[in-house]
Amino acid sequence: MPNVQEMARLIRQDIITMLAAAKSGHPGGSLSAADIIAVLYFSEMKIDPQDPNWPERDRFVLSKGHAAPVLYAALAERGYFPKEELLKLRKTGHFLQGHPDMKKVPGVDMSTGSLGQGFSAAAGMALAGKIDNKAYRVYCLLGDGEVGEGIVWEAAMAAAHYKLDNLLVILDYNGLQIDGPVQEVMNSEPLADKWRAFGWNVMEVDGHDIDELTASLQAARNTTGKPTIIIAKTVKGKGVSFMENQVGWHGNAPSKEQAEAALAELKGGNNNV
Partner 1 sequence: MSEQQIDWKNIKKIATREAYGQALVQLGEDNPDIVVLDADLAKSTKTSDFAQAFPNRFFDMGIAEQNMIGFAAGLAAAGKIPFASSFAVFAAGRAFEQIRNSVAYAQLNVKIAATHAGISVGEDGGSHQAIEDLALMRSLPQMTVLVPADATETKQVIKAAAAYQGPVYIRMGRLAVPVLFAENYQFSIGKANIIREGQDAAIIANGLMVAEALKAAEVLFAKGINTTVVNCASLKPLDKDTILKVARQTGAVVTAEEHNIIGGLGSAVAEVLSENYPVPLYRVGIKDTFGESGSPEELLQKYGLTSTAIIQAVETVLKRK
Ligand X SMILES: Cc1ncc(C[n+]2csc(CCOP(=O)(O)OP(=O)(O)O)c2C)c(N)n1
Per CB under 6 A, 178 contacts ligand X: yes
- The CA distance from 220 to 39, in Å, is 14
Per CB under 5 A, 174 contacts Mg ion: yes
Tell me the window of 125-133, 172-180, 195-203, 216-224 that interacts with ligand X (CB under 6 A).
Answer: 172-180
What, of Mg ion, partner 1, ligand X, none, does residue 35 touch, CB below 5 to 8 Å by kind? Answer: none
Of 142 and 165, which has the nearer Cβ to ligand X?
142
Q: Which one of residues 11, 172, 233, 266 is an interface residue with ligand X (CB under 6 A)? A: 172
- Indicate the burial class of 158 (C-beta count within 10 angstroms; 0-12, 13-18, 19 or more): middle
Of 101 and 206, which has the nearer Cβ to partner 1?
101
Interface mask (CB under 6 A) for ligand X, residues 140-169, using x and -?
---xxxx-----------------------
- Non-local CB neighbours of 207 within 8 Å, separated by 6+ positions: 32, 33, 35, 36, 170, 172, 173, 213, 232, 233, 234
Tell me the window of 5-13, 97-105, 205-213, 227-235 that interacts with partner 1 (CB under 8 A).
Answer: 97-105
The answer to whether residues 235 and 243 touch, using CB atoms and an 8 Å cutoff, is no
Neighbour-count burial for 97-117, b at 16+ CB within 10 Å, e otherwise: bbbbbeeebebbbbbbbebbb
Binding residues vs partner 1 (CB under 8 A): 22-25, 65, 89-94, 96-99, 101, 111-116, 145-146, 148-150, 177-179, 185-186
